[in-house]
Structure 1
Amino acid sequence: MFASDVFAADDMRWFKNETACNEVKITVLSYCQNDVDEMVNTFCVQQKLILENSDKKIMLSNLLEKEPSRNEFHSVRSLTCVAGKNNKPYIYFSLGNGGNCNDCEVHATMDLNGRWKHYDRKWFVSGSERKYIDRQEKVWWKEDSFYLKNKIENVEK
């Protein structure tokens, strides 16, 4: 079963959340269940990421492209701008599926150029950068996060 098969289109809405990391504007567009009681995005079947600075605009068509091929699907619930190695910041993502179990929450790390470094159990870097990220993720999850909320409906998509 695919995430898109879970909810009827009437129950889904696009939401827009914006924040910044250093000089980079971060926009996340999320196609999620329309649950106004929920304080954070849940049950999202698609999430787009837009990274913008004065030089360039990078768009990932689906933040969930690296989702593990398990029966569970996760959506980005929060992100944190974190200090990286040699003062190069990363975006640290917390993804969840609404449950409370060992596999219900996963984490991911990306640089400000939109390149994945780590996603759940998958690594896209090796050597000292991998060791650094692996060590730092244990600290990053404790930092203040920007939570994606079901509050700002987006009409642009």
Structure 2
Amino acid sequence: MSLSTGTYVIKNVLSGNSLALLDPNDGTSVVGSAEQVGRVMHWNVVRLGNGKYTVENVEQASYANAGPRSPAGGYVVGRGTSQQLAIQETRRKDVYTISPADRTLYFWGLEDGDEETPVTLGTTATDSHNHWQFEHVKY
């Protein structure tokens, strides 16, 4: 099932930590957090006409972006420009992988559950470090 356009908290399946962007500076790492609250953890997910997505932090007005042709281990950071993403449901209902559209064999992941662990690109779609759930935010 494809994800609908909306505002979400994006939560890592393995650690339970949610994605956060803690400041508006260009190049700030997107991190996993269990301690942050509010709009730094809210993400506008927009489904584009081509079936790809953009993900923008509500508080910082910055897009999650790994850069063009980013390598495995590359960081996902906040940028003023969007990056198209492939968000695919796994075999588990309502569990997704997130990949740069130009690097669909690399997947957003959290290496561990430590506070403010940066999101990096992993190489294994079946690894739950790289699995995400989207919890709809109602305003």
TM range (shorter): 0.3 to 0.5
Compute the TM-score of the two structures, normalised by the length of structure 1.
0.34
What TM-score comes out, normalization by structure 2 length?
Answer: 0.36
Q: Which has the higher helix share?
A: 1
Q: Radius of gyration: which is bigger?
A: 1
Ranked by relative contact order (alpha carbons within 8 Å, sequence separation 6 or more), the top structure is 2
